[in-house]
Structure 1
Amino acid sequence: MNLNWSLCGVHYSERASAHPHCSLAKREFEDPEGWTVDAPGYGRSEWRYLADMGRKRPGPGALGRPAAGFSVFRNWAHLFLFLWPFCLMSSNTLTLTSLSTTTNPPISSTKTTVNTSPPSISNETSTTNQSSSQTTLSPQPNTTMTPTTAEPEKDRNCSYSVDNVEFGLKIKMTISTPGNYIVSVAEKRGPIEREEIFLISNETSTHNITSLKPCTEYELNVTFRDLSGTEIFCDKTENKTTKTTGLTEQEIKSISCNPGYFCYQSGWNINFLLSKNNIFIEDMNNNGSYRFKRTYDKMCSDLVLKFPTENCSKDTFTISENFSVDFIDPEVINQTKPTKLPAKIEPEFPSSCKDFSVEYKCSGIHNESVELSDMKPFTDYSCTGDIKMNNVSINKTLPPVQFNIDCDFTVEKLEISTTNTSIKLNWETKSDNCQDVLNKLDELSYHCSCQQQKGDGRYFTIEEKFFYQTEGRMCEFTSGIKPFRNYKCEVRHIYTGQKDFEKANIEEKTKPGIPDQPHDVVVTVPENNKINVTCSLDYMDFNGPEKIYFAQLQGVPGSSKENTECKFQFEDLSYSTSYTVEVFTFNGHFTSSPVRSRVDTRYNNKAPIGSLVFLIIFIILCAAFFILKRRKSRNVNEEQKLFSTVIYTNMPPRKHNEGD
């Protein structure tokens, strides 16, 4: 190519998109090789006018130098199409250099109108666009173009007809302007399904619209879009129906497909026909292929596709395929994971699959084989099912089922029984997920503990026990249990390596028992024949509801005394006598063993004085008696001596008997 300046003043080597004056609207007019025309200072309406002028025969005196600033196409036919009207406009007939334009309006929403029609070209352009809104140009200087909203124009120089072709319809342009066209496709009285843009290079070009629905009436609308983005409706020359032809069995072909899928190919859009057969299309390619699966409920039945159409019943036919195990899609078979022990996996086949079953093989965390009946809680398992038909494998496996069963052990019906020296707990273990395998769970154990209440109200643990479930659901405490005490006991389950489970609590008081002996027994003798007794004992050590002290003198009847306070006094006792004092406690049920203390009363310090006085008096009396007696005895002796003297002296002489 000779790289020099064109007649219009633009270098051939320049690309329109690189030209400093090339706007977006002008780039849209770029030819397939990437070259376009650039006219600085011209708006989109002028471009439309120039394009129209390019199709007119030049009049006399049209020769002259075109306006400068136009890039040249490499396609010479296209170059001539646009250079010719530019050269015409450089003549004295019409001057366009003084036109001023407004901002480009949005595509498909505005059109450009000129207030004054150019008188010098009105006759030539009267046959171009006959409509209520014509695009015209005014030779008057400073004419402004106002954007207004309106429907696309009708262009009598843009018309088309519609004919049937294989798998669709054909648009044949009868009169057309070279450029881009848009065809909208919609079913009759339906929404637009698609739009296609096609390029028309001559007045008799055609465009095929395929992959339509068979036996369906369509509405096609063709629109021409000019350089400014203004859309102009094209006229349909014939009012013949635009109904597609019918579907034949030969126009649907079965093609190879992945196992479990059905694949068909057709130049028609048969999606709606498959939908009428309860088929869900999973994949649809541009080459007209359709991939689908059987619906879940019909997975094990023969495939029967009926293709009756409401608009052309004569084309009805049926495509069928007999059932094969290839129809089985393991991915869609629902497998219910086990949530309880013993584990059980339940695959759900559709009702049409009556002779199918599944055999599962399971493994544990170390890939060791495990039977479903031997599974344990809190362990990861993976099971794979082998699909069988009439107990014979079809060499298809279900996706692995992975699960871990959680057993939430709870203590129910916790009961407590007590004596005055023991506590016994009984309960039932409940588990929603593992109730049927409790006796097989070797790693299940129990924890029991009891706390005793102290005098200040606080509790302290007396004993804890751990044992496995094989020993039964019972624990007994005997060590450290005291009578008539408040106890708080709890039971919870333990499973190796797992968190603590919820515990159950119960409170109870032990039965009354033998009270403790009194402490700090003190026996005193405040007086010679009096004994005092004091002692103490914590109220809890009475081991019963009542708190009574008893004291008595051993072997002394009637000496027993009782009091709520350990203070006793024994009076009027014998002096200098040994006594044994017994002190014990009583709680309303039991009596403690006595605490004995031996004590002696002192001698009577008043008794010697009395004896001495008595002795003195006795001695005095004895002495007085002796003296008196002695005196009396002396007097008697004197009297006897005197009497005998008297007798001797005064005795008369002895008379003799008269017989003597």
Structure 2
Amino acid sequence: MIPDLQCGNNTVCFKPGSDDICSNMTFTFTSCTNTSFQFNRSITRDFLDVKNINQTAPTQFPVEFKAELPPNCNLSINYTCHIFYPRRGYYPEIHRFNETKNLSELEPFTDYECIGLIKDKNNVNVYNTTEVHVRIDCDLEIDFTNTSTTNTSSQLTWTTTSNRCKDVFQNLPKLLFDCRCGDSSQRIRLLNQTSVGTCYITDLQPYTVYTCWVQPSNDLEARKPFQVKQKTKIGVPEDVHNLKLEVKDHNTIIVTCNHSQIFNGPERIFKAQLHDGGSSVERNDETCEFEFKNLKYSTNYTVKVTAANSLFESNPITKQISTEYVNSGIVFHVFHILLTSVALLLVIYKIYDLRSRKSQWPGCP
């Protein structure tokens, strides 16, 4: 039932199909006068054209090729591959034939050229197929299973899955994972032949929302990143600086300071404490400006100032200052004026009282 092919004058050709190779075929020729003759022909495997072998390249792990071989020839096929570097960036277009790999040794995200070695029943190589380009890009998905933070670090734990590359992670020594939160990052490999990875990212700022991400990559290319929001815990506020103390009206102390406004948490408050060695006074305010009035004269005071949030206070900054001494001569002078004024008032009162009495008793001397 094979159609004939015209091969030239007085010549008829037949092309055996794959199912006909390695079998005996009977050819029947019938003339116009209904006379016929037959002859038999053995179709050997030499009729096999390797260019016509349909090869389907693998698209997932475990790696398997599908190749259509003549079913009657008792042939088997074994594929070997070598790494192929296409022209990409600064990499030259070269073949590395000295790195032959079996299918079980192939890795994702790598370009290979593979050749099928066709062997007979005696395991003797009889043909080679044409080369087939193979590259399997795993459709990696990351599922975050645990995320936690301190006030300066973040922990990301995830499970990596792939439909195309199931159970292949133990064979991925070159697969890396880049973790990043802000400007801090870490790069890890999966350990203990598992699909579970954990990153510890340090040097973060307290009480800050970060967009953290994990990105799989190999030596040359990065994959799609996967993101998660993280907020670090409350930390210690930054210290105040440039603390200034000033005495006003002899017994009033003015306190001011500067601050970066980095409180690392909610409820931004400044606290100032005033100590004289015995008692103490504390003031809180949203700005670092305090006034302590009606203090003791000529007394040493210690002032301590901190910045505070809802949980923590900064390191205290302290300074000492003394209220001013009041001059005793001035005090005496003021006292003398007061006494003179009182005496003058008494004299005036006496004169007034005397005149009042004379007006009431005009006959009296």
Q: TM-score, normalised by structure 2?
A: 0.71
User: Alignment partner of 1:473: what SS?
Assistant: strand
Matched letter for residue 97 of structure 2: N
Give the equivalent residue in structure 1 for 2:87. Answer: none
Kept in 1, the 8 Å contact 2:28–2:38? The answer is yes
Give a deviation string over 1:58-89, Cα, whole Å, max 9, x none. xxxxxxxxxxxxxxxxxxxxxxxxxxxxxxxx
Whether the 8 Å CA contact 1:583–1:595 is kept in 2: the answer is: yes
Give 1:347's match in structure 2, choosing from 67, 71, 81.
67
Q: Report the counterpart of residue 240 of structure 2 in structure 1.
A: 518
- 1:422 counterpart residue number: 153
Question: Is contact 1:550–1:563 with CA below 8 Å preserved after alignment?
Answer: yes
Note the C-alpha offset of 1:437: 3.6
* Residues in 1 aligned to 2:248 and 2:205: alpha-carbon distance in whole angstroms: 38
SS of corresponding position for 1:560: strand
SS in 2 for 1:392: coil
Q: How does 1:334-483 map to 2 (within 5 A)?
A: 334-349=54-69, 352-353=71-72, 355-363=74-82, 365-368=95-98, 369-376=100-107, 377-388=109-120, 391-393=121-123, 396-407=126-137, 410=140, 412-413=142-143, 416-429=147-160, 434=165, 436-451=167-182, 461=183, 463-470=184-191, 473-479=197-203, 481-483=204-206
**Alpha-carbon deviation of 1:526?**
0.8
Residue 566 (structure 1) aligns with: 288
Greater strand share, structure number: 2
In 2, the alpha carbon distance for the partners of 1:341 and 1:606 equals 99
Partner of 1:586: 308
After superposition, the Cα gap between the structure-2 partners of 1:402 and 1:610, relative to the gap in structure 1 and judged at 3 Å, is same
Q: For 2:81 and 2:314, locate their aligned partners in 1 and report how far apart those are by CA, in whole Å.
A: 68
Whole-Å separation in 1 of the counterparts to 2:132 and 2:251: 94
Q: Is the 8 A contact 2:258 2:288 kept in 1?
A: yes
Partner of 2:347: none
Distance change >3 Å, CA 411–CA 524, structure 1 → 2: farther
Pairs within 5 Å for 1:489-500: 489-496=212-219, 498-500=220-222
After superposition, the Cα gap between the structure-2 partners of 1:476 and 1:363, relative to the gap in structure 1 and judged at 3 Å, is closer
* Alpha carbons 2:50, 2:130 under 8 Å: kept: no
Which ranges of structure 1 fall in alignment gaps of 5 or more residues? 1-276, 452-460, 618-660
1:434, distance to aligned residue in structure 2 (A):
4.8
Aligned to 1:549: 270
Figure out how many residues of one structure are paired with residues of the other and give that number: 320
Contact residue 333 and residue 347 of structure 1 kept, 8 A: yes
Secondary structure, counterpart of 1:538 in structure 2: coil
Per the TM alignment, residue 504 of structure 1 is displaced from its structure 2 partner at its CA by 3.7
1:490-547 per-residue CA deviation (whole Å, 9 max, x = no partner) reads 4434433x344433444433211111222222222212222221223233x1100221
Structure ID, larger Rg: 1
- The worse-fitting range, judged by mean Cα deviation, of 506-515 and 569-578 is 506-515
Specify whether residues 607 and 305 from structure 1 end up closer, same or farther in structure 2 by C-alpha distance, changes over 3 A only. farther
Amino acid at match of 2:67: P
Query: CA separation in 1, counterparts of 2:168 and 2:199?
Result: 22
Deviation sequence 1:610-645 (CA, Å, 0-9, x none): 59848x98xxxxxxxxxxxxxxxxxxxxxxxxxxxx
Q: Percent identity?
A: 28
What's the counterpart of residue 538 of structure 1? 260
Alignment of 1:244-283 (within 5 A): 277=1, 279-283=2-6
Counterpart selection for 1:598 from 303, 320, 344: 320
SS, match of residue 344 in structure 1: coil
Partner secondary structure for residue 266 of structure 2: coil
Aligned mates of 1:604, 1:298 — CA distance in 2: 126
What CA deviation, in whole Å up to 9, does each residue of 1:462-515 have, x standing for no partner? Answer: x34444455973332223x2211243444434433x344433444433211111
Partner Cα separation in structure 1 for residue 233 and residue 5 of structure 2: 78
3-state SS, counterpart of residue 532 of structure 1: strand
Give deviations 1:314-342, integer Å, cap 9, x for gaps: 86876655675456554433222233455
Q: Work out the CA distance in 2 between the residues paired with 1:328 and 1:608.
A: 127
- Give the 3 Å change call, closer, same or farther, for CA 591–362 of structure 1 in structure 2: closer
Distance in 2 separating the partners of 1:418 and 1:607: 67
Preserved CA contact (<8 Å) 1:407 1:431? no
Does the Cα contact within 8 Å between 1:448 and 1:464 map onto a contact in 2? yes
Q: What's the counterpart of residue 609 of structure 1?
A: 331
* Separation (CA, whole Å) in 2 of partners of 1:581 and 1:526: 15
TM-score, L = length of structure 1:
0.42
Indicate the RMSD between aligned Cα atoms, in angstroms: 3.8
What is the aligned counterpart of 1:503 among 225, 231, 255? 225
How far apart, CA to CA, are the structure 1 residues paired with 2:205 and 2:78?
A: 61
**Equivalent residue number for residue 351 of structure 2:** none
Instruction: Supply the distance in 1 between the matched residues of 2:28 and 2:158 (Cα, whole angstroms).
Output: 67
| 1:30-41 pair list within 5 angstroms | none
